[in-house]
Structure 1
Amino acid sequence: MGEQTIIRFERVTKQYDNDPPVLANVSFEIERGKFYTLLGPSGCGKTTILRMIAGFAEPTEGSIYLNDKLINRVPANERQVNTVFQDYALFPHLNVFENVAFGLRIKKMNKKDIQEKVTQALSFVNLEGYGEREISEMSGGQRQRVAIARAIVNEPEVLLLDEPLSALDLKLRTEMQYILREMQQRLGITFIFVTHDQEEALAMSDEIFVMNKGKIEQSGTPNDIYDEPINRFVADFIGESNIVPGRMIADYQVEFNGRQFECVDGGLRPNEPIEIVIRPEDLEITSVAEGKLRVKVDTQLFRGVHYEISCYDDSGQEWLVHSTKKAELGSEIGLHFDPEAIHVMRFGETEEEFDRRLEAYEEVEQHVR
């Protein structure tokens, strides 16, 4: 375990009775002072991971470490971890100050220190002067910030956030994303955030764990996850994608739609079946003569900053395009894309296999150079 590692899961499985495992042999490390997001659909195991870190659930198999100490059976109140829940779990009979001070009073801290720490915590969440307000008088966004203040006032090493923005409207949700990210950077606390919203994860995180069916499909920075999805699930879940079957002719050369195209990927076997990913924003509308693909416009929606255009080629393959240009319904257009826009995925490849292939390919590249 590295010096910067604060949490480590080693082959952790969680299973209830004879049901399929909620988590299946999961291993990962969390570094100190970063913003992590567990991203995935409902039932994928992300909240289970949060509950096991917090001490609300124990693994069926495997080990969990906090600061290099095994914590499988350490009670929740003895861990330097606090949780912000989806419903905030505030006390309606206490005002804002007393909600934030609750944990400090349980610890029997003196009155002066409580006043100082609560005031500081409310300042961190931009709620100075709100101490005497009743919870019923607070908006949804303000209640969420009270819940965060109550969590950080205890100075945890890790702050766990279980879909805390899901009940907010879009504008307030976006505002809270900025506040949470800025707060994490100011405090330097490790944040572990659970969401099923991929835009939220991309906007806020230092690192994302994409989860599916009790396993981590891929982990990496938002750019890594978006630009280099490891398989169809990740490509589909993170943003919108055009995914088509193809063949790796050779390094830097792929075939799909009956034509060969240059790309920037390699390291696979010649003529190996692959899947091609091209993001909608990487497709440029041009004339039929100048396009690499010839398609017919089927539908078009205005999304504010771009048009979302659905097209079909002669084989019946749908192509989704995000463009600032408007297209005429029923017209034939060309689609242009650069070699860098083509991402190659091997069928059913795991993250470990992807990492090994990429490492081997980079070694070959260095030798050639």
Structure 2
Amino acid sequence: MNEQPIIRFEKVTKQYQGDAAVLRDVSFTIERGRFYTLLGPSGCGKTTILRLIAGFTEPTSGNIYFNGRVINHIPANKRQVNTVFQDYALFPHLNVFENIAFGLRIKKLKRADIEAKVKEALRFVNLTGYESREIKEMSGGQRQRVAIARAIVNEPEIILLDEPLSALDLKLRTEMQYELRELQQRLGITFIFVTHDQEEALAMSDEIFVLSEGIIQQSGTPTDIYDEPINRFVADFIGESNIVAGKMTQDFLVEFGGRTFECVDRGLHPNEPIEIVIRPEDLEITAVQQGKLQVQVETQLFRGVHYEILCSDETGNKWLVHSTKKVVVGEAIGLTFETEAIHVMRFGESEEDFDRRLEAYS
């Protein structure tokens, strides 16, 4: 028998008076001990979900369950949840030890217990020996570790992280991604991470919820989301994509760019209008006569590990190619790709219907 999910949203809507709904009829489950990411642009509702779980606000309608119990009206201080904020919300007048011990002192724990718990939390975040350090003397990465230590010292069942890496430089942000993921796996605590950075989401998550305009557009593992986007928004938001109009002529045959190609999709209506996704790294440059598509190079940029090449075909479709091969702007080249690289997106398909269609392929 499966373990009960730690968090469950059941048709949750959040609307502030006089404004449009921030969340609209949202339902999902969060399992224990996994790393989840809420991903989407500003205003999509991801931080609102975090605030609802934390108890900082209540849903307008619907129910939120924690370990099977409705918690809509349970105050924040009564929930087994701790939040790491974007600005860390550390107390500048307290040193590292006192910042981490703050919640334990409110609970009136014994001094020996507080010291033991704080030292253990510091060990987990690799800050042993920093107990007396002032917050103003800490780097951005160290402050974040203090904020995480303050969260885990209370032994919550869930840690919520509201874009905690956004203020860090690129190199440190990448390092902290590894550290956060490793820490979550060592602790075995459920992490719910909010970000608008798709690379962070892909790198760190067990599961991603992609949000837009208060609705979960798609949920799944990073591989599922990247390889099998459900619609144009997801395909465009997660990584770079070539999205072109097409037609599903019949099972396993799709038409785009003025030609017909074999694909792995089926179960659609004959000649149904669709959209095609092919990722830039799945396009291979060949001689013109060997290409499945014949294109002309419009621009080329060197990105360090690859060239970013923009081409157009004879029907006017634009094709972005990531390749280690260098080409000449203005020349004609061929593009080829594997059958599995073609992903078909059906207009207006729900996530449930999409999942059923993918299951039918296997």
Q: The TM-score by the shorter chain falls in which range?
A: over 0.9
> 1:303 Cα shift?
1.1
Which residues of structure 2 form unaligned runs of 5+?
none
Report the equivalent of 1:260.
Answer: 260
CA distance in 2, matches of 1:355, 1:222: 15
Report the equivalent of 2:244.
Answer: 244
SS in 2 for 1:224: helix
Report the equivalent of 1:163.
Answer: 163
What one-letter code is carried by the residue in structure 2 that aligns with 1:42? S
Report the equivalent of 1:115.
Answer: 115
* Number of residues of Structure 1 aligned to a counterpart in Structure 2: 362
> 1:301 Cα shift?
1.1
Which residues of structure 1 form unaligned runs of 5+?
none
Tell whether the 8 Å contact from 2:258 to 2:315 is kept in structure 1 after alignment.
Answer: no
* Counterparts of residues 1-150 of structure 1 (less than 5 Å): 2-150=2-150
> 1:115 Cα shift?
0.8
* Counterparts of residues 225-244 of structure 1 (less than 5 Å): 225-244=225-244
1:317-351 Cα deviation digits (max 9, x unpaired) = 11000001111111110001010000000012221
> 1:357 Cα shift?
3.0
1:238-294 Cα deviation digits (max 9, x unpaired) = 000000011111111100011100111111111111100000000000000100011
Tell whether the 8 Å contact from 1:267 to 1:358 is kept in structure 2 after alignment.
Answer: no
> 1:114 Cα shift?
0.7
> 1:19 Cα shift?
1.3
Q: Which moved more, 1:172-181 or 1:121-130?
A: 121-130
What one-letter code is carried by the residue in structure 1 that aligns with 2:206? D
Per the normalisation by structure 1, the TM-score is 0.97
1:154-201 Cα deviation digits (max 9, x unpaired) = 000000000000000000000000000000000000000000000000
Tell whether the 8 Å contact from 1:32 to 1:190 is kept in structure 2 after alignment.
Answer: yes
Supply the RMSD in Å over aligned alpha carbons. Answer: 1.1
1:201-246 Cα deviation digits (max 9, x unpaired) = 0000000000000000000000000000000000000000000011
CA distance in 2, matches of 1:162, 1:230: 26
> 1:2 Cα shift?
4.9
Tell whether the 8 Å contact from 2:4 to 2:67 is kept in structure 1 after alignment.
Answer: no
Report the equivalent of 1:188.
Answer: 188
Report the equivalent of 2:336.
Answer: 336
What one-letter code is carried by the residue in structure 1 that aligns with 2:246? G
> 1:62 Cα shift?
0.3
1:78-130 Cα deviation digits (max 9, x unpaired) = 00000000000000000001100100011011111111110111111111111
Tell whether the 8 Å contact from 1:280 to 1:321 is kept in structure 2 after alignment.
Answer: yes
CA distance in 1, matches of 2:302, 2:309: 9
CA distance in 1, matches of 2:48, 2:41: 13
